[in-house]
Structure 1
């Protein structure tokens, strides 16, 4: 009887591993929101790491998170490092592209709970009298990420955080003094 249970368990693990190996290597998350604020107002907030805690959804998940800034506080070369609870993990974000009022590009490097990197872009597109802000992230999924993706919707979980962050960003940008 025990042999049958162990054999069944090994078979189940093998099926999960084989199925996971056929999952896509790529993960992509994109969410957008429209604000009445100008592209300049939204860009200034995202491009400045000193303002991140005011709108980042992850800062709210762990108010006791340790954070530090390196390099310039805004623009290319700015680095935001964090270490927090299991919900936020540990890592760094480096600004690698900064096109005023158009785009902010970042390299996200995770240390825990899983090591990995992601490319992140914020784009600011004039739309009517306001701005469409798009937050996008792309990364490669490690094998363990493929297995986890079979049991939980990582794209939705991350996307929900993006929507919360965009809502926070919208409020702050709309409250900023007009230029």
Structure 2
């Protein structure tokens, strides 16, 4: 069974539209995209970054964009895993996300950036993946839909805030 998680929504069965509007950043995409395309910048906004003060980061491949990779290893809360950038363009990014601890799972993640008329950006975070028996049981017992949606929203809000700060300071790595 496949699950889809959306920022500002729930983990959904199937692909129903999100009931909430996408988070917005006042900053244009030129300030959002560098924070997405460079895993080294994720420490500034990624919602799970603070789970372990001693989190180990490993970066491989190109510094930014498709082919770059980020692995982490931490305490019980942070777990361990790896992300590989599959796509990095003006629309955002697509990733392969593989968890290795405390459980194994592989998901596809997209973070979409859409220009809005006022010059800002609308942000959307989607995660899809197949679930085995353990995953289906886990999702029935724990409110993962609400937990992940809150984390996605927190991450998108932090991403927007960091992009806005970069725009105000006149910095961008795009």
Aligned-CA RMSD value: 1.2
Of 131, 136, 148, which aligns to 2:138?
148
User: Greater CA radius of gyration, 1 or 2?
Assistant: 1
Encode CA deviations 1:16-71: one digit per residue, 9 max, x unaligned: xxxxxxxxx11111113101100121111111111111111111111211111001
Deviant stretches of 4+, over 2 Å: none
**Partner-residue secondary structure (3-state), 1:150:** helix
Encode CA deviations 1:118-140: one digit per residue, 9 max, x unaligned: 00001110112211011111011
Is the contact made by 1:27 and 1:155 (CA closer than 8 Å) also made in structure 2?
no
Counterpart for residue 112 of structure 2:
123
Distance 2:80 2:161 in 1: 27
Query: TM-score normalized by structure 1?
Result: 0.82
Distance 1:158 1:88 in 2: 14
**Partner-residue secondary structure (3-state), 2:141:** coil
Counterpart for residue 87 of structure 2:
97
User: How many residues of Structure 1 are paired with residues of Structure 2 in the alignment?
Assistant: 154
**1:56-135 equivalent positions in 2, closer than 5 A:** 56-99=46-89, 101-129=90-118, 130-135=120-125
Unaligned runs of 5+ in 2: 8-21
